Amino acid sequence: MILIHYGEIGIKGKNRAVFENCLVRNIKKALGNEIEKIYREYGRILVKEGERANYEMLKEKLAKIPGIENFSFAYEVDLDIEEMKKIAMEIAKNEKFSTFKISARRSNKEFPYSSMQINEIVGEEIKEKLNKKVKLENPELTIFIEVGNKKAYVYKEKYSGIGGLPVGSQGKVVALLSGGIDSPVAAWLMIKRGCSVVFIHFYNESLVSSPKKVEEIIEKLTEYQLSSKAYFIPFGTLQYEIIKNVQSKYRMIIYRRVMTKIANEIASMEKAKAVVTGDSIGQVASQTLENIHCIYDASDLPVLSPLIGMDKREIIDMAKKIGTYEISIKPYDDCCSFMVAKHPATKASLDKIKEMEKKIIFDIEEIIEKARTKQYSK
Ligand code: ATP
Ligand code: MG
């Protein structure tokens, strides 16, 4: 039996069932044939795994589902203190330890023993029969017992999930995804907070034959999101248009404004409510507060930048943890090098930028028509 605990869903009041159902749907989708039955009980989701379940694989998949706080592989027993004692003993016998504790939780108040009494009765058994010491702080072994409505669950280990909220519970956003380190982490944080993320990637088709690396990043993020949609937008012509018409130090700002406008249009087609970027204050010239002001001004929708207050070090650590870092550091020329000025403006004025931008003629619909879209699923 797999016992799944969620975190924040628990505080959603009347919407709680909606969140729980969303999480149940996602677990079903992620585990597919691996499971026989899934149902929810107050405060927890219970999954009956298939006969030939691969626990390593289950562990890997559950650790990637947003909304799961922690999960355990548990023995299911009848609501009988003798049964609890028996299973706890069996678990303990197979472990090497000298100190332990029992940690019981009773959500079913009709069970005749309190949590404290369960701890004492089961603890006594192990202490006497196996000659071990009870230690309440940092014991070498903890055996958990949860008393539910119909059954109780006994287990020894809690595996951490990623927390957050179930994907699909928070509506849709579009994320500007480059081949770099930052934007995949930004998109991941939105997925973790329960948003459905549609990816948009711009690339120079005369430099990159196919944006394979970005596809790999999306595949990795789809392990968390479970299904994804992406737009790949050839952008070479427009990049040259910008290079031709704009002084080098302002190119990046205008380039990003144009991307932002196109992202807004795609968001409206997709019924998405925000644009996500991987900006972090001051990290590069295009991310000074002045330039962020100039760039985000091009968006009608809110621009969300979940990395805004993070250091590069922290972002890299997170990228490593979620598995995008190794892909992000592969070489990739998504952007013409003329776009990146030696001395970019760090304090652009919005009026000036808007004036220069008038020279760039582009048809958003035509650009989107040329985009390739692709669906991903786990
Ligand atoms: P990243 O590591 O995400 O590439 P960065 O630190 O290199 O970010 P910039 O290149 O200035 O910073 O890009 C800032 C943000 O603009 C990115 O995080 C991303 O959201 C968006 N962006 C940049 N280039 C592209 C692109 N080719 N396609 C889609 N979005 C892009
Ligand atoms: Mg970049």
- CATH number of the domain to which 308 belongs: 3.40.50.620
Write the residue with the smallest CA distance to atom 6 of ligand 1.
182
Residue 269 burial by CB count (10 A; 0-12/13-18/19+): exposed, middle or buried? exposed
Same domain, residue pair 111 and 200: no
Contacts of 30 by beta carbon, 8 Å cutoff, 6+ apart? 61, 62, 64, 65, 226, 378
Q: Which domain holds residue 88?
A: 2-160
Contact between residue 87 and residue 43 where contact means Cβ atoms under 8 Å apart: no
CA of 180 to the centre of ligand 2 (A): 5
Write the residue with the smallest CA distance to atom 31 of ligand 1.
178
Q: What does the pLDDT read at residue 330?
A: 93
Q: What is the pLDDT of residues 295-319, one digit of tens each?
A: 999 999 999 999 999 999 999 999 9
Pick the last residue of a domain from 127, 160, 193: 160
Query: What span, in angstroms and rounded, lies between the C-alpha atoms of 124 and 132?
Result: 10
Coil, strand or helix: which one is 84? helix
Q: What does the pLDDT read at residue 6?
A: 92
Pick the last residue of a domain from 106, 135, 160: 160
Q: What does the pLDDT read at residue 317?
A: 98
Contacts of 250 by beta carbon, 8 Å cutoff, 6+ apart? 345, 348, 352, 353, 356
Q: What percent of the chain has pLDDT over 70?
A: 98
Whether 155 shows a pLDDT value over 60: the answer reads: yes
Confidence of residue 9 (pLDDT cuts 50, 70, 90): confident
- For residue 166, being part of any structural domain is answered with no
Q: What is the pLDDT of residues 232-260, one digit of tens each?
A: 999 999 999 999 999 999 999 999 999 99
Pocket of ligand 1 (CB under 6 A): 176-178, 180-183, 200-203, 256, 259, 277-279, 283-284, 286, 334-335
* Mean of pLDDT values over 40-58: 91
Which residue, among 102, 80, 94, 101, has the nearest Cα to 150 in the 3D structure?
Answer: 80
Q: Return the CATH number at 48.
A: 3.30.2130.30
Same domain, residue pair 215 and 258: yes
Total domains, the chain: 2
Q: State phi, psi for 77 to the nearest 5 degrees.
A: -130, 160
CA of 60 to the centre of ligand 1 (A): 29
Q: What does the pLDDT read at residue 236?
A: 92
Query: What span, in angstroms and rounded, lies between the C-alpha atoms of 44 and 313?
Result: 36
Write the residue with the smallest CA distance to atom 20 of ligand 1.
277
**In 335-355, which positions are buried (b, 16+ CB within 10 angstroms) versus exposed (e)?**
bbeebeeeebbeebeeeebee
Query: What span, in angstroms and rounded, lies between the C-alpha atoms of 117 and 106?
Result: 11
Same domain, residue pair 190 and 141: no
Q: What does the pLDDT read at residue 11?
A: 61
Least confident of 228-232, 268-272, 334-338: 334-338
CA of 235 to the centre of ligand 2 (A): 15
Same domain, residue pair 61 and 176: no
Q: What does the pLDDT read at residue 142?
A: 98
CA of 136 to the centre of ligand 2 (A): 50
Same domain, residue pair 133 and 37: yes
Q: Pocket of ligand 1, candidates 174, 176, 178, 318: which has the most ligand atoms within 8 Å of its Cβ, to mutate?
A: 178
CA of 258 to the centre of ligand 1 (A): 13
Same domain, residue pair 126 and 190: no
Whether 335 shows a pLDDT value over 80: the answer reads: no
- For residue 54, being part of any structural domain is answered with yes
* Mean of pLDDT values over 167-191: 96
CA of 183 to the centre of ligand 2 (A): 8
Q: What does the pLDDT read at residue 228?
A: 98
Pick the last residue of a domain from 136, 160, 184: 160
- For residue 177, being part of any structural domain is answered with yes
CA of 204 to the centre of ligand 1 (A): 14
* Number of neighbours of residue 25 by Cβ within 10 angstroms: 15
Q: Looking at the CA of residue 184, tell me the nearest atom of ligand 1.
A: 3
Q: Looking at the CA of residue 278, tell me the nearest atom of ligand 1.
A: 18
- Residue holding tokens 């890997």? 60
Write the residue with the smallest CA distance to atom 8 of ligand 1.
182
- For residue 33, being part of any structural domain is answered with yes
Q: Residue 176 carries which DSSP code?
A: E
Q: What does the pLDDT read at residue 191?
A: 98
- For residue 76, being part of any structural domain is answered with yes
Q: Looking at the CA of residue 176, tell me the nearest atom of ligand 1.
A: 30
Predicted TM-score (pTM) of the model is: 0.95
* Number of neighbours of residue 61 by Cβ within 10 angstroms: 18
- For residue 270, being part of any structural domain is answered with yes
Strand order in 152-155's β-sheet?
Answer: 75-77, 152-155, 141-147, 99-106, 133-134
Q: Looking at the CA of residue 280, tell me the nearest atom of ligand 1.
A: 6
Same domain, residue pair 16 and 150: yes
Coil, strand or helix: which one is 7? coil
- For residue 11, being part of any structural domain is answered with yes
For the chain, what is the mean pLDDT?
94
Coil, strand or helix: which one is 323? coil
Same domain, residue pair 112 and 246: no
Same domain, residue pair 150 and 181: no
CA of 275 to the centre of ligand 1 (A): 13
Same domain, residue pair 283 and 242: yes
Same domain, residue pair 120 and 223: no
Write the residue with the smallest CA distance to atom 4 of ligand 1.
180
Same domain, residue pair 147 and 210: no
- For residue 167, being part of any structural domain is answered with no
